[in-house]
Amino acid sequence: MNPQTSTRPVQKLSKAVAKCAVEAAAYGKCIMADYNDVYKDKCAREFLRLKDCYLTAVKKA
């Protein structure tokens, strides 16, 4: 990457998220199961997996 152009945080986020498609799909599926009844931490397990994947992807980059 060109060292002169600083990467915006959102671009870093976007790149890392792209590597976690499987985890994102699992989380999305959990929400989709009944989106009329969503409450706090309903899909916490799926979300933590997505977040773990994201954090490792960010570290590697």
Partner 1 sequence: MSTWRSSSFMSWGKSSLARLAPLNSTQFAAAPRRFYAVASGATRFQVFDRRVKWLQKERSASNEEESRQADYLKDEVAIRLTERLLDIKRHFPKVLDLGANSCNVAKALTRENPDPDPDTPLSPSLSDRIGELIATDSSEARLYRDASHDFNKKIAITRQVVDDEETVSFEPESFDLVLSSLSLHWINDLPGVLSQINNILKPDCPFIGAMLGGDTLFELRTSLQLAEQERRGGMSPHVSPLADVRDVGGLLQKAGFKMLTVDVDDIIVDYPDTFALMQDLQAMGESNAILNREMGPIRRDVLLANDAIYRALHGNPDGSIPATFRIIYMIGWREGENQPKPLARGSGETNLKDILEKKE
Name the residues that contact partner 1, by CB under 8 A: 8, 10-11, 13-14, 17-18, 23-25, 27-29, 31-32, 35, 38-43, 47, 50-51, 54
Smallest distance, Å, CB 47 to partner 1? Answer: 6
Q: Which of 31, 27, 61 is nearest to 47 (CA)?
A: 27
Q: Dihedral, CA atoms, 38, 51, 24, 17, nearest 10 degrees?
A: 130
Of the pair 11, 56, the CB lying nearest partner 1 is at 11
Question: In whole angstroms, how close is the CB of 49 to partner 1 at the nearest point?
Answer: 11
| Smallest separation, CB 60 to partner 1 (Å) | 17
**How far is the C-alpha of 37 from the C-alpha of 61, rounded, in Å?**
37
- 27 neighbors 50 (Cβ within 8 angstroms): yes
